[in-house]
């Protein structure tokens, strides 16, 4: 079923983002974690596509397995990286063959070591072009999501300019937005307000990542340009050598964020779970009832 319809019919949604494991053992473990999270009845689970647009088939396999075995909806991420139009077209046909109706259209990151994204030959420069192509080729078959950046995308000169580009993605046919992770809800609330002022009216699902490891979160935020607030950074620095304390802190921080977001009518919660269930299970037990 398409998320477009589900989003219209529900007041708020719960969703998780995972990545395709590299090994069969990893996949087995992943599904053990996902089974544990089924008690929260998630609206969808989205599956990333490898950094170089690699492992398209693996992403689709996992989404298919989610659709068939978990009783929830899988969302396949699709990037412009390394794919010419004809390859994207083949991916769209593959998705349709597998009866996958929900996708997240992304540009993807520049190759490692480069600051600029180089579009593949006969491919797309921006996610908006991908969204337009998917709509042109497949009409309403897919429900399409796109990425939004409460603290602006790392390459954008300003939030204003980035929002104009976000509006192009929505105008090209996107049905919903999932945000980059953020640690300060004020950034999300401001972003949502600015989106509305630019006539971006679709759902903006806030993306939360419970911190489980300080070094790892520094790396992620460094790559994607999200900031760790000063006080959070200070707290984490003090406990970084105690993994259990960091996990507990991450659970508490994300719980506080989730409670405030829901209290102020955010349309859902999207958790980046890094293929683990422990932290998000504890958070959902406190916030998702």
Positions marked catalytic: 17
Q: Note whether 162 binds ligand FAD by CB under 6 A.
A: yes
Q: Note whether 206 binds ligand FAD by CB under 6 A.
A: no
Q: CA dist 51 to 18, 80, 127, 212, 238, Å?
A: 14, 11, 15, 22, 32
Q: For residue 236, which of 208, 260, 211, 261 has the smallest C-alpha distance?
A: 211
Place of tokens 């003090």: 238
- In 3-state terms, what secondary structure has residue 187? helix
CB of 215 to ligand FAD, least distance (A): 20
Binding mask 175-194 for ligand FAD (x = CB under 6 A): ---x-x--------------
- Residue selected from 67, 79, 91, 221 as contacting ligand FAD according to rule CB under 6 A: 79
Q: Note whether 88 binds ligand FAD by CB under 6 A.
A: no
Nearer to ligand FAD, 206 or 246 (CB): 206
Are the beta carbons of 146 and 104 closer than 8 angstroms?
yes
Selected range binding ligand FAD among 161-169, 193-201, 232-240, 254-262, rule: CB under 6 A: 161-169
Q: Note whether 165 binds ligand FAD by CB under 6 A.
A: yes
Q: Read off the tokens for 30.
A: 């992943």
Cα–Cα distance, 39 to 281 (Å, whole number): 9
Q: Note whether 127 binds ligand FAD by CB under 6 A.
A: yes
Q: Note whether 172 binds ligand FAD by CB under 6 A.
A: no
Q: For residue 59, which of 49, 68, 46 has the smallest C-alpha distance?
A: 49
| Length, in residues, of the chain | 289
Containing H/E element for 105? strand 102-106
Q: Note whether 210 binds ligand FAD by CB under 6 A.
A: no
Selected range binding ligand FAD among 104-112, 212-220, 237-245, 281-289, rule: CB under 6 A: 104-112
Selected range binding ligand FAD among 6-14, 36-44, 154-162, 214-222, rule: CB under 6 A: 154-162
CB of 76 to ligand FAD, least distance (A): 9
Q: Note whether 268 binds ligand FAD by CB under 6 A.
A: no
* Contact partners, residue 199, CB within 8 Å, separation at least 6: 167
């Amino acid at each position: 079923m398409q998320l477009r319809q589900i989003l219209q019919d529900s007041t708020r949604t719960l969703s998780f983002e995972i990545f395709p494991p590299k090994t069969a053992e990893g996949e087995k473990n992943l599904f053990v974690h996902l089974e544990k999270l089924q008690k929260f009845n998630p609206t969808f689970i989205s599956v990333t596509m490898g950094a170089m647009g690699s492992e398209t088939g693996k992403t689709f396999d996992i989404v298919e397995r989610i659709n068939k075995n978990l009783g929830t909806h899988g969302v396949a991420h699709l990037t412009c990286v390394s794919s010419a139009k004809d390859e994207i077209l083949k991916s769209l046909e593959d998705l349709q063959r597998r009866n996958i109706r929900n996708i997240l259209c992304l540009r993807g990151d520049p190759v490692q070591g480069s600051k600029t994204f180089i579009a593949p030959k006969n491919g797309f420069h921006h996610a908006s072009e991908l969204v337009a192509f998917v709509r042109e080729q497949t009409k309403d078959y897919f429900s399409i999501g796109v990425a939004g950046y409460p603290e602006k995308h790392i390459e954008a000169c300003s939030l204003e300019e980035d929002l104009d580009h976000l509006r192009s993605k929505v105008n090209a046919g996107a049905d919903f937005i999932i945000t980059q992770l953020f640690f300060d809800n004020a950034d999300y609330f401001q972003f949502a307000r600015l989106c509305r002022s630019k006539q971006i009216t679709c759902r903006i699902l806030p993306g939360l990542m419970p911190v489980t490891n300080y070094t790892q979160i520094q790396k992620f935020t460094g790559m994607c340009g999200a900031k760790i607030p000063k006080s959070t950074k200070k707290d984490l620095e003090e406990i970084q050598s105690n993994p259990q304390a960091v996990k507990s802190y991450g659970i508490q921080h994300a719980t506080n964020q989730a409670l405030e977001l829901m209290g102020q009518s955010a349309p859902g919660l999207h958790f980046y779970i890094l293929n683990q269930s422990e932290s998000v299970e504890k958070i959902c037990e406190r916030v998702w009832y």
